[in-house]
Structure 1
Amino acid sequence: MSTDNTGFEVPEQMRDFAEKSVDQARKAFDDFMGATHKAVSNVEDSASAVQANAADVNKKALTYAEEHVNAAFKFAQELVKADNVEDMMKLQQSYLRGQMESLGEQSREFSNAATKAVQDAAKAAQKK
């Protein structure tokens, strides 16, 4: 009866342990990758929401700028037609009052838009 003692045999328990370790490492990696994909998706959704709201704010800003320029031209046209200093002062007062009211309303709208942008981004991040 000849026995070959030169070969090394891995005990069955060691093989089972190694196999379980590899399976656990694979599962941990898969879980990590799943969480990473979810985080990236959340960031993309949040960025999309912020980008959409930023475009709305940009459009509003351009509209407001156009309104202010038009109001300034209208004021200038009225000022040129004024008959005396008293009329000029009334026009000036009316123009400034209108501009202050307009700026107040626009500030509220910008504030609401910024709040909405933050809320939309937070909602997009929570969806995933």
Structure 2
Amino acid sequence: MTNTPNFGELPDSVRSILKTSIEQAQKAFDTFAASSEKLLQGVDTSSVPAADGLKQLNEKIAAFTRQNADANFSLALKLTDAKHLSEIVELQNAHLRDQMETFSHQLEELREITVKTVKEGSRAATQTVQNAANSVPSNPFYSGN
């Protein structure tokens, strides 16, 4: 017969160390994410067709990354307080359900932005080709016969 670990027996000092480590990791991630977002804001995409859509897509991806990381850090902190295996399983199951729903909504938002951006880009490309075709001078040596 195997003994199921009793997580309530984990000393408070160990729980405290775990929480501190998770909080430090979260602060490091927040610093990295803020730096990345600042870098993305400085990128000039004004000469790119559908630049607004690309910028919006990048901003959404950054926001979703931060949102998902925050959810995972929150779960990690909750797990450090769990005293029984059943609590851990329930916390993980609830987190998984929430994240699957979140991912579904996030993917739909990204799809909408991507479709809009592709349409804008193709419109701009079509206009560029039409402008180029219209600017070609007619051939004075060709009579059309």
TM over 0.5: yes
Extract unaligned runs of 5+ from structure 2.
1-45, 132-145
1:97 aligned residue: 97
Question: What is the DSSP-based 3-state SS (H/G/I as helix, E as strand, rest coil) of the residue aligned with 2:69?
Answer: helix
Q: Take 1:126 and 1:108, find their aligned partners in 2: how far apart are those partners?
A: 27
Q: Which has the larger radius of gyration?
A: 1
Q: Is the 8 A contact 1:57 1:110 kept in 2?
A: yes
- Structure scoring higher RCO (CA < 8 A, sep ≥ 6) equals 1
1:86 aligned residue: 86
Q: Is the 8 A contact 2:49 2:120 kept in 1?
A: no
Counterpart residue type for residue 49 of structure 2: S
Q: Take 2:123 and 2:49, find their aligned partners in 1: how far apart are those partners?
A: 12
Question: What is the DSSP-based 3-state SS (H/G/I as helix, E as strand, rest coil) of the residue aligned with 1:47?
Answer: coil
Question: What is the DSSP-based 3-state SS (H/G/I as helix, E as strand, rest coil) of the residue aligned with 1:48?
Answer: coil
Extract unaligned runs of 5+ from structure 1.
1-44
Q: Take 2:118 and 2:47, find their aligned partners in 1: how far apart are those partners?
A: 9
CA displacement 1:71-96 (0-9 Å, x = unmatched): 01100111111121111100000011
2:70 aligned residue: 70
The alpha-carbon deviation at position 109 of structure 1 amounts to 1.0
RMSD, aligned CA: 2.0
Q: How many pairs does the alignment contain?
A: 83
Q: Answer yes or no: is 1:47 the counterpart of 2:36.
A: no
Counterpart residue type for residue 113 of structure 2: A
Q: Take 2:47 and 2:103, find their aligned partners in 1: how far apart are those partners?
A: 30
2:57 aligned residue: 57
Counterpart residue type for residue 83 of structure 1: K
More helix per residue? 1
Q: Take 2:95 and 2:64, find their aligned partners in 1: how far apart are those partners?
A: 16
Q: Take 1:57 and 1:88, find their aligned partners in 2: how far apart are those partners?
A: 35
